[in-house]
Amino acid sequence: MEAVRVGFQYAIKEAVQKMGATAPNPAVGCALLDGEGRLLSVGAHPAAGQPHAEVMALEQARQKGVLEQARIALVTLEPCNHHGRTPPCSEQLKNSPVQTVWIGARDPNPQAKGGAEYLAEGAAPKNVRFLADEPELLPLAQECKALLAPFASRVMRGRPWLTVKQALDGRGSMLPPPGQKTFTSPASLRLAHQLRRACDAVVTGIGTVLTDDPSFTVRYVADHEGRGPRPLIVLDRQGRMPMAWRQAREADGFHVEQCHDVASVPALLGQMGVNWALIEAGPALLKSVRDADLWDDWLAIHHEEHGGDDQLSVTLRNGRDGNESPVQLLRRYGD
């Protein structure tokens, strides 16, 4: 089981690095082991229309000359079982030397599910196992569920996973000192920019735009190469958005949308194919989001004014297990 645990950690880490690049597809990772549990290759789905994680791992093993040694596949998401822009991953694994396939989470997409059954049945059946069936591997199953949460939210609810990021000083204020745009530590800033990179869209309010002149660009970590325009939703009922600010954001690679009603934002983003959206806004909009129960997880960064590391907390709506938050994955596996 230790080889399975370690292999899945490699697969999850690889997938986490691709979060924000794969929408409308999910971020998925796959690791291949030999019969002794040695790691042969690790792959992740890089972007929609490109090879899936299983194919990436198989091809990597082929290029390294070790494909024929592959006996165990560890996949964070049930292999897809339909012909889309790429062939079914279940078919690719079926035709490989792999004998056992471990699955981290079931596919919630009705068009793609069924890969586990396909692998376990018919000619040359594979031994299919699920992390959730092994008590000692349940923490990994939760991490795979967290990795899938943004995609599952859009597929099952028609709206993305919504993460709120809120920074607070020692007095509980969100306002930075005069002349500063932030007061959090370098480590917290790095996490915030990992989160920006991992999310497919940003939501903010006109008050934040007018007060802070924010760019919402990814800086403290490298952004995804070749990234297409990302939705940037601005709650602005009175049409106060400065044209110069809008043009600057569009030059930065955003597709700026003005919205009048916060309650309509989730469905709007779902129609855009957004899996995960980040809400970066001031107290008024955050109160509206909380009152309307629109959020899924809430990252609070509490700054320590007298030195020391910032205190971070992640809360899931409805009291769900915090380990199922995709933000927690960034904290554990982010670069």
Residues annotated catalytic, as ranges: 54
Q: Which residues contact 13 (CB under 8 A, 6 or more apart)?
A: 29, 333
The secondary structure of the chain, three-state, reads CHHHHHHHHHHHHHHHCCCCCCCCCCCCEEEEEECCCCEEEEEECCCCCCCCHHHHHHHHHHHHCCHHHEEEEEECCCCCCCCCCCCCHHHHHHCCCCCEEEECCCCCCCCCCCHHHHHHCCCCCCEEEEHHHCHHHHHHHHHHHHHHHHHHHHHHHCCCEEEEEEEECCCCCCCCCCCCCCCCCHHHHHHHHHHHHHCCEEEEEHHHHHHHCCCCCCCCCCCCCCCCCEEEEEECCCCCCCHHHHHHHHHCCEEEEEECCHHHHHHHHHHCCCCEEEECCCHHHHHHHHHCCCCCEEEEEECCCCCCCCEEEEEEHHHCCHHHCHHHHHHHHCC
C-alpha–C-alpha distance, residues 297 and 245, integer Å: 29
Using CA atoms, how far apart are residues 114 and 233, in angstroms rounded to an integer?
36
Query: In one letter, which amino acid is 22?
Result: T
Cα 108 to Cα 319: distance, rounded to the nearest angstrom:
22
